[in-house]
Structure 1
């Protein structure tokens, strides 16, 4: 190889290497100069005056946008009442047919279950259920502190409904064997389950009474109860609990209701008054058969309560098992 040829090859290599390394350096230099150009005094391609102008523009723009949203929200909230729903009864999604709820509910990890189950009379075995009832009933025990009901409570009776703006008291001492002091009878293998009617604003029950034709599917025990009830106490949304199937009817045993077998009419209509608490019925299963799952169905009874087992309207289902 001649000197001239060697020299040419070296120059060509230098030229390639220079192009390879200088390219990224130039790009990096351009990016740095774009972020901050000391010579022209710009940041991201804008000088101080330009940044001030764009800052003022967007400040005014977002302030106007926030004011417009705030004004729309203010107008919207003027159409709403914090206590009274805009859509009621037939116009609402809830409708006019209330359902029932029960307590205690299974723990959150078994949220889809409706089984109340425990083993024997040992406290640790049934503790989760009594603790759940303690928590549920806590608001009923200290109404003045937890709900501000102190000024609002009225001692209601069938012949003296609450005045406007007042709410009826729910005296948990009337639950007798189904109180915290009695462990809700779980220690005697005769547990208590509390039933409540779901709230529907403005709903007024149409009561059954002696002169009304009672439905053919109403339990015989409840029919007898209504027939011997004093006329002044017939304004009641009645409650019945039975075994769902023939085997369940045989195993469920006697049932007691506290403080009465239904919800007195003076608790209705629900109008979201301050301190209102839903009335409760304690269902005491006095001697259920042990070691077997018992399917229980409780129903609420009034002219304008329809029952649908599939949709669980007007009723509630749960299972009971004491090992």
Structure 2
């Protein structure tokens, strides 16, 4: 046991040769000097490459956009989808818009709070850019914070917008394969606007919606379709790393949704260069509305008994 401990001690430090782990002071100095300059050089090279990459990479937009966008492939043409608000959660039930008619505490309603938060960029007062704070709907009706966006009356307003794709410009009109659906919807958005139309996903949903929808756009109010004017496109990216772009939107107000049932809704956009694919979500969005009204539920039960 003693000789093993002696060999281990000698391997760590040899007093005769004055070596530590097999190297004397001169060798350790040379090795330390080599690795010192090696790591300094490696860190310097890495920092130089990062600096060059940051210098040649656009900060406010992707390098390839529009027709050169890498989002477009042969099997997946460049076609934006639609988005909607309120959407207070990112969980599996994020597509549900719950309207509770049996409460007076609408200030704490997460759906109303989400709409308030989303619309802040449209009402911020700052002078950083001349492009800010231009999009407004002058006559939104009951789709305002003071009216709880129609939630308190059981006539919810859903904000529908087109998702942002840098340098994408929608062209007014419709694709040939959408002609029948476009004419059936009766859309007349105007020569410089694209149409937005919402409908029940299934026949029972069409009945539950009641066919009474009001589209409140920037320029008009309509009961068939909403409109997004093309002057707000294209989206050109952030300005000085600030997201000041105001996406145009349409208020879609459901005036008489059937209470206490789940209603599936699809909203789609019509344009010459936007493809509609319900499975992929291109050119459309899907959400559900549930209006909770216990009073009307009790009345319907009483009528059934009578």
Fold equivalence (TM over 0.5)? yes
State the alpha-carbon separation in 1 of the partners of residues 133 and 114 from structure 2. 24
CA distance in 2, matches of 1:307, 1:277: 24
How far apart are 1:236 and its partner, in Å? Answer: 0.9
Q: Does 1:306 align with 2:275?
A: yes
Could you tell me how far apart the structure 2 residues matched to 1:141 and 1:28 are? 79
Classify 1:174/1:93 alpha carbon distance in 2 versus 1 (closer, same or farther; 3 Å).
Answer: farther
Tell me the distance in 2 between the aligned counterparts of 1:291 and 1:37. Answer: 87
Deviation at 1:129, TM superposition (A): 1.1
Residue of 79, 82, 100 corresponding to 1:100: 82
Change (3 A) 1:51 1:287: same
Deviations 1:42-80 (A, max 9, x none): 443433332222111011112222232333334434442
- Deviation (angstroms), 1:38: 6.0
- Runs (4+) of structure 1 moved beyond 6 Å? none
Q: CA deviation at 1:219?
A: 5.7
Pairing 1:256–2:214 present: yes
Q: Aligned residues, how many?
A: 273
Kept in 2, the 8 Å contact 1:101–1:198? The answer is: yes
Gaps of 5+ in 2: 73-77, 219-225, 293-306
Are the counterparts in 2 of residues 193 and 282 from structure 1 also a CA contact under 8 Å? yes
Query: Is structure 2 residue 96 aligned with structure 1 residue 119?
Result: no
Tell me how far 1:140 sits from its aligned partner: 2.3
The Cα of 1:92 is off from its aligned counterpart by: 2.5
Equivalent position SS for 2:236 = coil
Alignment-derived partner of residue 13 in structure 1: none
Q: Could you report, residue by residue, the CA deviation over 1:82-127 in whole angstroms, capped at 9, with x for unpaired residues?
A: 234222234324332111011122523x336422224333145871
> In structure 2, what is the Cα distance between the partners aligned to 1:32 and 1:285?
86
Distance of aligned partners of 1:32 and 1:100 in 2 relative to their CA distance in 1, 3 Å threshold: farther
The answer as to whether partners of 1:207 and 1:235 remain within 8 angstroms in 2 is yes
Cα distance in structure 2, aligned partners of 1:124 and 1:28:
79
Against the structure 1 CA distance between its residues 56 and 123, is the aligned structure 2 distance closer, same or farther, given a 3 Å change threshold? farther
1:188 Cα deviation from its structure 2 partner: 1.3
- 3-state secondary structure, aligned to 2:45: helix
**2:179 alignment partner, SS class:** coil
Structure number having the greater helix percentage: 1
User: In structure 2, do the counterparts of structure 1 residues 213 and 51 end up closer, same or farther at CA, with 3 Å as the change threshold?
Assistant: closer
For the aligned residue pairs, the C-alpha RMSD in angstroms reads 2.9
2:113 to 124, 128, 131: 131
Partner of 1:186: helix, strand, or coil? helix
SS at match of 1:217: helix
Is the counterpart of residue 62 in structure 1 residue 39 in structure 2? yes
Q: Assess, with a 3 A threshold, how the Cα gap between structure 1 residues 215 and 36 changes in structure 2: closer, same or farther.
A: same
- Counterpart of 2:304 in structure 1 is none
Counterpart residue number, 1:152: 129
Indicate whether 1:290 and 2:259 are aligned: yes
Which of the pair has more CA radius of gyration?
A: 1
Contact 2:97-2:290 at 8 Å conserved across structures: yes
Cα separation, 2, equivalents of 1:37 and 1:174: 91
Q: CA deviation at 1:313?
A: 0.4
Instruction: Report if the CA contact (8 A) 1:222-1:240 is conserved.
Output: no
CA distance in 2, matches of 1:48, 1:112: 68
Deviation at 1:173, TM superposition (A): 6.2
Give the secondary-structure state (helix, strand or coil) at the position aligned to 2:266. strand
Instruction: Say whether the 8 Å CA contact 1:121–1:186 is kept in structure 2.
Output: no
- Partner-residue secondary structure (3-state), 1:133: helix
